[in-house]
Amino acid sequence: MIFFKTEEEIEGIRISCDLVSKALAEIGKIALPGVRTIELDARADEFIRDNHAFPAFKNYRGFPNSICVSVNDMVVHGIPGDYFLKEGDIVSIDCGVKLNDFFGDSAYTFTVGEINPEISKLLTVTKESLLKGIEMAVSGNRVGDIGFAVQSYILPFGYGIVRDLVGHGVGRNLHEDPEVPNYGNRGKGNKMGDGLVIAIEPMINMGTKDVFREKDGWTIKTKDGKPSAHFEHTVVVRKGTPEILTTFSYIEKTEALVEVAQMV
């Protein structure tokens, strides 16, 4: 069942989305060489709870941690552990919070030190494809219009678009209808209306689109071992211009400060 949100409900989701955006920036501050992925999880858990919210992923369908930490060829759902980040890694952080009965959901792929230019391009293109998809989140359009926009932007680069995992509705539940694939046909799928809140999240692989699940039951990896990028925003479908509830601005400010510090 698809739920269209009232303005009051959207405001509640907006507050949760602002917090999850800040949490990602906090995690990004310590995503550095020599840091264990479990330390990223601990920081996220602490920050979210200090802000009187609950980490939405903790124990969700049995997931053991507060964030998903997916390094290099991990696509999504990586379980934080004893892996030490190293120079040249990329690390996707998927984070959700629950605050005052409303959920916020966002993801960002961070770079650890200097990375390969080809991988840097993958990240840039994936982030751009997210914006292309968001442009289609307009009342009267269909879900397939979002997937078609992402797909049309990605395919000329020769990257693989993950088909096994999709975006979703967000609200009083972390995952709601409709599903939002990153591929599809224009004019197909559920019709979107004003007040629909969805998470759009392209998962793009440098190589094949094919993935597999690790024995831990959670971690999804690329079949060819090549890197994968993942970016996600929570968005309100509007009659005119889509409204993005999450933001990468906190992350970008942090990254800018780091660059300045490195120049001094």
Q: What is the pLDDT of residue 257?
A: 72
Per-residue pLDDT tens over the stretch 64-120: 999 999 999 999 999 999 999 999 999 999 999 999 999 999 999 999 999 999 999
Residue 29 in this model has a pLDDT that exceeds 60: yes
Q: In this structure, is residue 2 part of a structural domain?
A: no
The token pair that represents 142 in the structure block:
């269909």
Residue 261 in this model has a pLDDT that exceeds 80: no
Residue 260 in this model has a pLDDT that exceeds 80: no
Residue 7 in this model has a pLDDT that exceeds 90: yes
Residue 222 in this model has a pLDDT that exceeds 70: yes
HSE-up of 58 (CA within 13 Å, CB side)?
13
Q: CA-CA distances (angstroms) from residue 126 to 48, 51, 203, 235, 241?
A: 27, 30, 8, 17, 21
Per-residue pLDDT tens over the stretch 42-77: 999 999 999 999 999 999 999 999 999 999 999 999
What mean pLDDT is predicted for residues 144-169?
A: 98
Q: What is the pLDDT of residue 258?
A: 65
What mean pLDDT is predicted for residues 130-151?
A: 98
Q: In this structure, is residue 174 part of a structural domain?
A: yes
Rounded Cα distance between 251 and 256, Å, is 9
Q: In this structure, is residue 167 part of a structural domain?
A: yes
Q: What is the pLDDT of residue 210?
A: 98
Residue 263 in this model has a pLDDT that exceeds 60: no
Rounded Cα distance between 107 and 228, Å, is 13
Dihedral pair phi/psi, residue 35, rounded to 5°? -90, 135
Q: In this structure, is residue 1 part of a structural domain?
A: no
Opening angle at CA 190, ends 235 and 203, nearest 5: 50
Q: Minimal CA–CA distance to 93: which of 8, 157, 35, 13?
A: 35
User: How many CB atoms sit inside 10 A of residue 6's CB?
Assistant: 10
What mean pLDDT is predicted for residues 3-24?
A: 98
Q: What is the pLDDT of residue 155?
A: 97
User: How many CB atoms sit inside 10 A of residue 31's CB?
Assistant: 23
Q: What is the pLDDT of residue 191?
A: 97
Q: What is the pLDDT of residue 248?
A: 98
CATH number at 147 reads: 3.90.230.10
Q: What is the pLDDT of residue 60?
A: 98
What mean pLDDT is predicted for residues 132-148?
A: 98
Rounded Cα distance between 45 and 27, Å, is 10
Using 50, 70 and 90 to split pLDDT, how confident is the model at 264? low
Query: What is the span of the domain harbouring residue 219?
Result: 7-263
Residue 255 in this model has a pLDDT that exceeds 90: no
**How many domains in the chain?**
1
> Is residue 163 within 8 Å of residue 204, measured between CB atoms?
no
Residue for token pair 């300045």: 260
Residue 122 in this model has a pLDDT that exceeds 90: yes
Q: In this structure, is residue 228 part of a structural domain?
A: yes
Rounded Cα distance between 129 and 146, Å, is 10
Rounded Cα distance between 182 and 136, Å, is 12
Rounded Cα distance between 181 and 155, Å, is 15
Rounded Cα distance between 91 and 85, Å, is 8
Residue 31 in this model has a pLDDT that exceeds 70: yes
Query: What average pLDDT is seen over the chain?
Result: 96
Helix, strand, coil content of the chain in percent (nearest 5): 35, 25, 40
Q: Minimal CA–CA distance to 24: which of 123, 105, 115?
A: 105
Residue for token pair 């390094």: 71
Using 50, 70 and 90 to split pLDDT, how confident is the model at 259? low
User: How large is the C-alpha radius of gyration of the chain?
Assistant: 17
Residue 235 in this model has a pLDDT that exceeds 80: yes
